[in-house]
Amino acid sequence: MKNVHKVLSLIAAIVITLGMVVNAAAADYPNGNIELVVGWGAGGGTDRFARSIAEPLSKVLGANVVVVNMPGASGAVGGDYVLQQAADGQTIWAMTSNYPVNVAAKKTPYGLDKYDTVVRMQHDTASLSVAKASPFETIDELVAYAKKHPGKLTVGGTGSASFDEVMVALAMEAMGIDMQYVPYESAGKMHAAMLGGHLDCLFDEFGPLGGYFKDGSMRPLVVLNDTRVNGFPDLPCTKEKGWNVNIGIWRGILVKKGTDPAIIKTLADAFKKAGEDAKYLDIVKQSCLDLRPGYLGPEDFNAFLGNEISMFSSTMKKLGF
């Protein structure tokens, strides 16, 4: 019996000691530079997000936030790298909607059980748009034609088995039409194809298309949202048309599973405060990222991600991936 008490006392001492170590680590956070890993190359939307938030985040945390680009496998390379590091909050992942698509398509073996959610910071808004010379003046005209001519119209998006392809598939299902999806390596090549008359319509966010909308070389036919958006009062949204498809690409932060909850809270609070920085907000506005709320805290973001993985898994099966 005495030996049992000694063992229990030893275990209790170890637990207390480990708790003190963890609390000390959390109190000392951040300890040196923070790596903000981007699973895409320089110049893209996620890279711009990371670099625009890094400066105000550094000020809030009192530590240097270094953006590290690790492109490959639709962002999965960067996510895999984060899992190889310590769960100490010093290496964080700037990820996007492509992560749940990768999980659904089994492009990565690392599901949500391998990560802790921190925040969702941006929720972009997409549209289906056409070129100036298009005969379709409204989304109703395009849908009516597509129903009479299944598979004849083309719709562009970036990537195969990607977020764009999934969203186009969901939109077509909701509208009851069939168009031929054409994947492009980059948004720039897709835009060139549209302007060159090689596409009937395209799926993209408002930010990259803003210049084209302004000079009239392209025009949006519908916004994938529950409400109409500022600056486009005459542009219908999918909800008013009875089409339940409203998801745009979003950007958020994950860390390795097992990160101290106190560190996660520190990071979540810091990102929220950094997101109120005037310079950052100006970039958000210029990129049309202020059309709907983006911020979600750790718990809400976790629930949101779980729902997206489930939804995308169902859609990917229908697509045959």
Q: What is the mean pLDDT of the chain?
A: 91
Domain that holds residue 22: 1-28
Sort 269 into a burial class: Cβ within 10 Å, 0-12 / 13-18 / 19+: middle
255 in the same domain as 227: no
Instruction: Tell me how far apart the alpha carbons of residues 187 and 38 are, in angstroms, rounded to a whole number.
Output: 18
Tens of pLDDT along 51-93?
999 999 999 999 999 999 998 888 899 999 999 999 999 999 9
138 in the same domain as 204: yes
Q: Which helix (H) or strand (E) holds 36?
A: strand 34-38
Assign residue 263 a region (left: φ > 0; alpha: ψ between -120 and 50; beta: otherwise).
alpha
Amino acid at 201: C
The predicted pLDDT at position 138 comes to 98
Report whether 178 contacts 150 (CB < 8 A): yes
- Interval 5-10 mean pLDDT: 55
Report whether 299 contacts 150 (CB < 8 A): no
152 in the same domain as 93: no
Tens of pLDDT along 217-234?
999 999 999 999 988 999
Task: Assign 18 a pLDDT band (cuts: 50, 70, 90).
Answer: very low
116 in the same domain as 57: yes
110 in the same domain as 255: yes
3-state secondary structure of 46: helix
Instruction: Tell me how far apart the alpha carbons of residues 243 and 248 are, in angstroms, rounded to a whole number.
Output: 14
Displacement of CA 319 from its chain's centroid (Å): 21
CATH number at residue 268: 3.40.190.150
DSSP conformation class of 74: G
pTM summary value: 0.82
173 in the same domain as 155: yes
The predicted pLDDT at position 14 comes to 53
Closest of 118, 97, 99 to residue 110, by C-alpha: 99
Tens of pLDDT along 180-207?
999 988 888 999 999 999 999 999 999 8
Displacement of CA 122 from its chain's centroid (Å): 7
Sort 181 into a burial class: Cβ within 10 Å, 0-12 / 13-18 / 19+: middle
The predicted pLDDT at position 224 comes to 96
Displacement of CA 69 from its chain's centroid (Å): 16
Task: Assign 24 a pLDDT band (cuts: 50, 70, 90).
Answer: low
168 in the same domain as 81: no
The predicted pLDDT at position 5 comes to 57
135 in the same domain as 174: yes
Report whether 242 contacts 90 (CB < 8 A): no
142 in the same domain as 91: no
Please report, to the nearest 10 degrees, the dihedral formed by the alpha carbons of residues 152, 157, 162, 166 taken in order: -50
Report whether 137 contacts 236 (CB < 8 A): no
Phi, psi of 4 (to 5 degrees): -65, -45
138 in the same domain as 69: no
132 in the same domain as 217: yes
Report whether 285 contacts 155 (CB < 8 A): no
**Strand order across the beta sheet in which 65-69 lies:** 65-69, 34-38, 91-96, 250-256, 115-123
How many domains does the chain fold into?
3
58 in the same domain as 106: yes
CATH number at residue 136: 3.40.190.10
- Interval 42-59 mean pLDDT: 92
Overall residue count recorded for the chain in this entry? 321
Task: Assign 22 a pLDDT band (cuts: 50, 70, 90).
Answer: very low
Last residue of a domain, one of 199, 214, 241: 241
